[in-house]
Structure 1
Amino acid sequence: MENSNLSQFETTGDKMLLSGLAVSDRTAFYKKTYAHVAGGVLVFILFEWLLLQSETIVNFAMSLTQGWRWLIMLGGFMFVTNYAEGTVLKTQDKNKQYLAYGLYILAQAFIFIPLIYVATSYMESGTDMLYQASVVTLSLFTGLTAVVFVTKKDFSFMKTGLTIGFFIALGLIVAGSLFGFNLGLWFSVGMCLLAGGSILYQTSNLVNKYTEDDYIPASLGLFASLMLLFWYILSIFMSRD
């Protein structure tokens, strides 16, 4: 009977999921994870600032926003995302995990160039808009994370719905790029809801999926959801300007 109870916590080898560990071990994991998410945000800001200093890089990124070229940027971003996620999950080498995480942050910074450049260069309240969107994003992220920890609810059931939602969104983005129609405000609102669901799912995974050594994969998943939410909240703010 004792062995059957422990089996639910087993992953690979002799490691156990966080739910099978002591409270102190789980707390240490949460601190590491959110410290790495915060670190990812700071590195993103640094990368973004450096990239925006180069007129060549900005012009190149802006040129990829036109029509089918946006699909090239999106495809490249998805390739880097898959590589980074695959690397941090398959290897226990922390150096490789950090390298993959850093590469993913750089890819995020690059794909954000057009959005932030337009906001800061062509909109009167661009700087204030970035600040407001950041505050709203962090507030929602904190609130959604708190929901998981307070209710202790397992949101893993959302995986199928989120997967379907992301495929539908991707199809709409591809169609919009190929046929030249604007997805509009309601698409951004829908993507914010999808990003919120992803945050609930990723936070739930902290307990139900990862072991105490998996704080970098956990951080990458949360960081990705946070940046998706920020993208579409900023898009909503820009549509109102």
Structure 2
Amino acid sequence: MNSENNVVVSYATDADRATFFKKTYSHVAYAILAFMLVESILLRIVPMDWILAMMGGKFVWLFILGLFWLGSTLSDRLVFHPDRDKQYLGLGLYVLLQAIVFLPMIAMAVLYSGSEMIMQAAIITLFMFSGLTAVVFMTKTDFSFLRTAITIGGFVALGVIVVGAIFGFNLGLWFSVGMVVLASASILYQTSQIKDQFSTDQYVGASLQLFASIMLLFWYILRILMSRK
């Protein structure tokens, strides 16, 4: 075991903190690059009929969402396992799950505008994530008070998504805006927790937490852009 395992980031030396944040955000970048690679492969090899079935079949989509939830739970456990190999397995599994869930919407975005709309959503997401991260580090505010609101909002959103999938109604623009707010609050909360509560060896787990919120933010920004077409 590494001697850094029990050192909380907020109590670590400046050098150890810098190393932790460098590793964390590097892993977030690697996860995003891996997502892009896997998504591009899926777009090439998955038949369009299958993608349309994912979009059109409500029970198929509910199955995919259920699989994603189970996989996400497993990934979250793996990334905090003492074994580093299992941590990377958890992060890799989560990237794959995100690529599968994103496949129908990315395919539709490509049909609408090629890569233009996806690039716009990616740039907006990047700027929002950078701004929210800067708020946490520059203001040194403890955003742990957001936890209850994020938890309740997440369960409400999940319920609305499931009901919408079953009965086939459009969740609308304002739901997407609300989810962007929820994802932004999650980034504030998780960045604050990583800065104050994580230990310096938990950079793989920290990167998964941030990657998940970034992908949630990207999803609903892309939905908002697509709703304008």
Query: 1:116-162: per-residue Cα shift (whole Å, max 9, x none)?
Result: 001112x1x24211111100000000000000000111111211110
Q: Distance in 2 between matches of 1:236 and 1:18?
A: 36
Aligned to 1:101: 91
Aligned to 1:76: 67
Shift of 1:24: 1.4
Report the structure number with the largest CA radius of gyration.
1
Aligned to 1:112: 102
Aligned to 1:4: none
Q: Distance in 1 between matches of 2:76 and 2:114?
A: 32
Gaps of 5+ in 2: none
Aligned to 2:35: 44
The two structures have a TM-score, normalised by structure 2, of: 0.95
Q: State the superposition RMSD in angstroms.
A: 1.3
Q: Distance in 1 between matches of 2:206 and 2:5?
A: 20
Aligned to 1:154: 142
Aligned to 2:227: 239
Pick from 82, 99, 123: which aligns with 1:92? 82
Q: Distance in 2 between matches of 1:168 and 1:198?
A: 15
Query: 1:177-202: per-residue Cα shift (whole Å, max 9, x none)?
Result: 11111000000000000000010011
Aligned to 1:62: 52
- Number of positions where the alignment pairs a residue of Structure 1 with one of Structure 2: 225
The two structures have a TM-score, normalised by structure 1, of: 0.90
**Native 8 Å contact 1:84 1:103 kept in 2:** yes
Alignment-mate amino acid for residue 136 of structure 1: I
Q: Distance in 2 between matches of 1:189 and 1:157?
A: 21
Alignment-mate amino acid for residue 50 of structure 1: I
Cα pair distance change 1:172/1:14, threshold 3 Å: closer
Gaps of 5+ in 1: 1-12
**Native 8 Å contact 1:61 1:110 kept in 2:** no
**Native 8 Å contact 2:5 2:201 kept in 1:** no
Cα pair distance change 1:112/1:15, threshold 3 Å: same
Does residue 171 (structure 1) correspond to residue 163 (structure 2)? The answer is no
Cα pair distance change 1:106/1:14, threshold 3 Å: closer
Shift of 1:208: 1.9
Q: Which has the higher contact order (CA 8 A, sep 6+)?
A: 2
**Native 8 Å contact 1:188 1:236 kept in 2:** yes
Deviating beyond 6 angstroms after TM superposition, the runs of 4 or more aligned structure 1 residues are none
